[in-house]
Structure 1
Amino acid sequence: MPYDYKPFPYIAPPGLTGPEPRHAVAIIGAGPIGLALAIDLATKGVSNVVLDDNNVVSVGSRAICWAKRTLEIFDRLGVGERMLAKGVTWQVGRLFYGADEVYAFDLLPEDGHKYPAFINLQQYYVEEYLIDRARDFPDLIDLRFKNAVTDHQDRGDHVALMVETPDGSYQLEAQYCVACDGAGSPTRKRMGLAFEGQTFDEHFLIADVEMDDSPFGTDTPERWFWFEPPFHNGQSALLHRQPDNIYRIDLQLGPETDPKSEATEEKVIPRIRAMVGDRPFRLDWMSVYKFRCAKLDQFVHGRMIFAGDSAHVVSPFGARGGNGGIQDVDNLGWKLARVVQGQSDASLLDSYDQERRHCCDENILNSSRATNFMTPKSPIEALFRQEVLRLAHDMPFARRLINSGRLSMPGSLAGLPLQTANTAPIRPGTAIMDAPLANHVWLLDAVQGRFVLTGFGNVALPDIDGIDRIGIEQAAQNYPVYDAIDNLALDRYGADIAYLFRPDGHVAAAFFDPTPQAVAKAYARACGKIDGDV
């Protein structure tokens, strides 16, 4: 394999020889979600312990497609630029019906953003980079490999966890525990929580293939998706390029497939050969799977919290799984930090449950629609798809009906309780829209990670305790002021208006007249005081 899977060291935990001090937060699972949350909490001064039953990064590329908003979050956590440097950047997708290209689309047709629409980067690299970053916080992040959580009890004011290690078991206590232990979450199963949704009968083959000669016929990486390709009769296929000359291939196999017999080189290599032709290749990793769109009814259960695949799963088409999980972290991290540090009441965590379930519903809806279009269940559905694909070559209206996976977008929180409604150009609840500022600064660098009141143009910003301030295209002030490159920031946000950004980069409120009273009330609301009392 081109990736060198090096095991992480197991270190006997102190709980084996005596009681440990109560931890602020325990995180179950050292995948991308658990590691990202650990780093997010550490950047806010919250200590945490990460418990994982394994000691190596995920085997196989698994999640590979990371969206712009997710990269912006990773940037705040300190790994975004490293991911961008290693990843394969793409923004053009091509759709084929049979051998004919139906149309192409560009996901980021405008300039003025720090990060591209998408990069492809194998999950094992993401985990490696996050672990390296976590080690920058030795006093705040305790990474414990080969520490499997076998049981837990929510005792009202804390959670007690039983942990098994190669040297025996021990007990650990934490104020809060976050389960980031994946789609098969042992924590969720141990609690007997319903995980309801739709299971799809179709089987898919996923394979990583190493090829020096690009099958795209171009050096520019793109996403290629086929409906009924000539090399895979009657099914669908997807092709992505990853770093290290690894290509991700997804092939629809049908509902009657036997996964054990299909997940063999004897079956897989001829399928790949039919797709890529005579060019040399090497099979790096493969899996045959079915998928579900499902979620918990609640993500917060007392002092037990669920994030990522342990809380919700979707089909892989649209890259909404890993990206959605990182947005869970972005929403949860600052709220959990405020609660642990006594800055907000525990009821603030209810807004994590409400906001992320709202975005999860949107992801599941888009994922289910994509899968239903890709795998018609009746002759009428098949006829509809056939006619849409036939018309789309010449008729732009039909292209909007094609669904090979509506690609991940940041979830909108507009209309939910923490936001203060307003008729601003950027609606409260919307995720940050980046823009370039002078001196190589980006707007997302200037506002993410804390509450920031940002004035665009000629608007006075009051000084409110707990809120930082910056100005865009303003005269000198007693807070940082930046010039906008090509006026893009004012074009996107409007002039003579102020926005209050939450630590997760979502707009909490907008003000044409940001009086101290109005800003303080919106800030209190965003911190969980829904009645707005300061």
Structure 2
Amino acid sequence: MKDTHENTGLLYPYAKVAAQDQAPVRHPVVIVGGGPVGLACALDLGLRGTPVLLLDEAEGVGVGSRAICFAKRTLDIADRLGCGQAMVDKGVVWNVGRVFHGEGEIYQFNLAPEGGHRNPAFINLQQYYFETFLVERIHAAQAEGAPIEIRGGNRVASISQSDHVALEVETPDGTYGIEADWLVACDGARSPLRDMLGMSFEGRVFEDNFLIADVKMTADFPTERWFWFEPPFKGAGHSALLHKQPDDIWRIDFQLGWDIDRARELEPANVRRRVDAMLGEGVEYELEWTSIYTFQCRRMERFRKGRVLFAGDSAHQVSPFGARGANSGVQDAENLAWKLDAVLRGAPESLLETYEEERIAAADENILNSTRATDFLTPKSEISTIFRNAVLDLAGKYAFARPLVNSGRLSVPCVYDGLSLTGEDALDGPAATRPGSACVDAPVGDGFLLGRLPQGFCLLALNCSAATDLCETVELEAAPGSRLAERYLGRAAQAVYLIRPDHHIVGRWPAFDADKINAALTRAKGG
């Protein structure tokens, strides 16, 4: 079986550095783990001017497709970091999903967002490409002077902390020490750092296993998401999924059940038996990568211990259906990066408590959605199966039942309703741009709104002036009937929005009010 990683190369091969022969050097931020979350966090911090060191046990991007479905919000973040367009250009854009029950199609849906967005609703892109584009952007940023360093082949062996974090790091040339003001643990679901710190990882493990098979083939299947409940092909179990990726790679998921022999199921002959039954006789393909995963929905009780902060799979884990893992992890990184940067520049450390508050709320929302999807996909009782199948039968005939079908509700950004940094909503404006929500894109001139927003806090003033030295101001005209007016004004004639560095909305008002905006800004900065 060919390894899809074989042509990606070692993007940051091990190289001995002078620090290995010196007393431990103190770094403002050390990140452990070179997956999408760690790379995005390092790039974000470095572009803000905060020195960051990333340690990765590997020497390049991961093996196998793993995460493949990246949502618009993640692509918007990647745009801000300078690598979103490369991801969209390489990825497979899809909008249509089809849901089957047995041999028959129940219904289809279309996720295409309304017009006026730079990015599509979703792309399919192998995780190793996503990581590669981040690493390439880091290399470009380094050349431009961004203070980012990656050390491959560096494994953290031990950790301790007092008024800083101390690490012992193993390399091919021996062990050396590193110190950090702050450490970000992005070392995955099996997080060694979490274990070293004695942190719990609690939640629910579902009694089911799924086989992933990435196959390379030239097929005339449309670029759509196909999902089967009780598929008609032999050996697929109770559900199956088919998705296209770049390079003529197709992702196939088969539900295997709980009591399985994992090694036996991963034997190429047994994988091929299932794939052959799905694709039919005579279809030529190559097995690129296979894996088995168990549905798990769980998180750490706290995402912070002292000066160590956890992000991505090291902090929370959800089932793959719904594309909530990598997408929510990248949003963790964005939430944390601007707050760490602010604290290192003098903001109160209490600002980091809001990282926990907001991203635990997001994790709980994802876990709830993922648990509901898993319960629908894998009913565990006779009555649950009867209910599920009744919903599927109704959905084939009546539109009202289709929202009840849950083959993995797809990832959407969390809205921080009512949380600490969310400010006043004095505008009777659209719900999609209420305080706590992520900014919605819209056409502006020959570009898009998100591309006009600066790196730090800013005021967005629509059809009015907001002359102030509190933060940067973007003043735009929003013509009646325009996408910008629809999404940010609604029935209002003008508005002022206060927007965070991660493009979440702090508050909004019908006109500029220096006192109210200053109070909201002070609060949003941790004051």
Equivalent residues of 1:449, 1:505 under 8 A apart: no
Partner residue, 2:191: 185
- Does 1:125 find its partner at 2:132? no
Kept after mapping to 1: 8 A contact 2:266/2:291: yes
1:383 alignment counterpart: 386
Give the one of 420, 424, 441 matched to 2:423. Answer: 420
- AA aligned to 2:174 is G
Determine if the alignment matches structure 1 residue 152 to structure 2 residue 156: no
- Normalising by structure 1, we get a TM-score of 0.94
Aligned to 2:215: 209
* Aligned residue among 426, 432, 437 for 2:444: 437
The answer for the alignment partner of 2:81 in structure 1 is 77
Q: Once the 2 structures are TM-superposed, how far is the Cα of residue 484 of structure 1 from its aligned partner?
A: 6.1
Write out per-residue CA displacement over residues 221-274 of structure 1, whole angstroms, 9 at most, x where no aligned residue: 111111011014651001110000000000101111111110111110010011
- The amino acid that maps onto 1:433 is V
Q: Is contact 1:67–1:323 with CA below 8 Å preserved after alignment?
A: yes
Give 1:291 deviation, angstroms.
Answer: 2.6
Do the aligned partners of 2:295 and 2:374 also contact (CA within 8 Å) in 1? Answer: no
The answer for the alignment partner of 1:195 in structure 2 is 201
User: In 1, are the aligned partners of 2:184 and 2:309 still within 8 Å (CA)?
Assistant: yes
Q: Secondary structure at the match of 1:128?
A: helix
Consecutive unaligned residues of structure 2, counting only runs of 5 or more, are none
User: For residues 26 and 10 of structure 1, what CA distance do their matches in structure 2 show?
Assistant: 17
User: What's the secondary structure of 2:482's corresponding residue?
Assistant: helix
Contact map agreement 1:448 1:504 (CA 8 A) in 2: no
Of 462, 468, 478, 2:467 maps to 462
For residue 434 of structure 2, give the secondary structure of its aligned residue in structure 1. Answer: coil
| TM-aligned CA deviation for residue 486 of structure 1 | 6.4
Residue 394 of structure 1, CA deviation: 1.3
* Contact persistence 1:50–1:144 (CA under 8 A): yes
The answer on whether the counterparts of 1:259 and 1:289 sit within 8 Å (CA) in structure 2 is: no
Q: Secondary structure at the match of 1:202?
A: strand
1:362 and 1:108 mapped to 2: Cα distance?
Answer: 23
1:510 equivalent in structure 2: 508
Q: 2:228 corresponds to which residue?
A: 226
CA distance in 1, matches of 2:268, 2:178: 44
User: Are the aligned partners of 1:472 and 1:484 in contact in 2 as well (CA < 8 Å)?
Assistant: no
Q: Which residue of 2 aligns with 1:476?
A: none
Q: Deviations over 1:347-402 (max 9, x none)?
A: 10000000000010000000010000000010000000110000101111111110
Query: CA, structure 1 residues 50+95, in 2 after alignment: closer, same or farther (shift >3 Å)?
Result: same
Equivalent in 311, 324, 347 of residue 350 of structure 2: 347
Offset, 1:137: 3.3
2:323 maps to a residue whose letter is A
Q: Which of 409, 412, 425 is 1:409 aligned to?
A: 412
In structure 1, C-alpha distance between the alignment counterparts of 2:453 and 2:199, rounded to whole Å: 37
**Paired residue for 1:275?**
278
Q: Which structure 1 residue ranges, 5 or more long, are not aligned? A: 474-482, 530-534
Amino acid at match of 1:239: L
1:532 paired residue number: none
| CA shift for structure 1 position 40 | 0.3
Matched, 1:493 2:488: yes
Looking at structure 2, the residues matched to 322 and 398 of structure 1 have their Cα atoms a distance apart, in angstroms, of 30
Q: 2:140 is paired with a residue of what secondary structure?
A: coil
Deviation (angstroms), 1:416: 0.6
For residues 397 and 40 of structure 1, the distance between their equivalents in structure 2, rounded to whole angstroms, comes to 43
In 1, Cα distance between equivalents of 2:454 and 2:111: 23
| Displacement after TM superposition at 1:13 (Å) | 2.3
1:104-142, CA deviations, whole angstroms, 9 ceiling, x for partnerless residues? 111124110000000010011111111111112335111
Offset of 1:462 from its aligned partner? 3.2
Maintained 8 Å contact 1:436/1:484: no
**Following superposition of structure 1 onto structure 2, how do residues 245-394 of structure 1 map, counting pairs within 5 Å?**
245-277=248-280, 278-342=282-346, 344-394=347-397
Residues in 1 aligned to 2:353 and 2:339: alpha-carbon distance in whole angstroms: 10
Q: How many equivalent residue pairs?
A: 511
CA-based RMSD? 1.4
Letter of the 2:469 partner, please give it.
I
Contact 2:242 2:253 in 1 (8 A): yes
Matches of 1:21 and 1:485 in 2, distance apart?
57
Kept in 2, the 8 Å contact 1:464–1:520? The answer is no
Q: In structure 2, how many angstroms separate the alpha carbons of the residues matched to 1:89 and 1:237?
A: 21
One-letter amino acid matched to 2:180:
A
| TM-score (norm: length of structure 2) | 0.95
Corresponding residue SS for 2:485: helix
Residue 136 and residue 234 in structure 1: after superposition, are their counterparts in 2 closer, same or farther (change >3 A)?
closer
1:33 lines up with 2:37 in the alignment: yes
- SS of the counterpart of 1:22? strand
Question: Post-superposition, which runs of at least 4 consecutive aligned residues in structure 1 deviate over 3 A?
Answer: 483-486
- Cα drift, residue 5 of structure 1: 3.4
Alpha-carbon offset, residue 450 of structure 1? 1.7
Paired with 1:320 and 1:448, the residues of 2 have a C-alpha distance of: 27
Inter-partner Cα distance in structure 2 for 1:519 and 1:107? 36
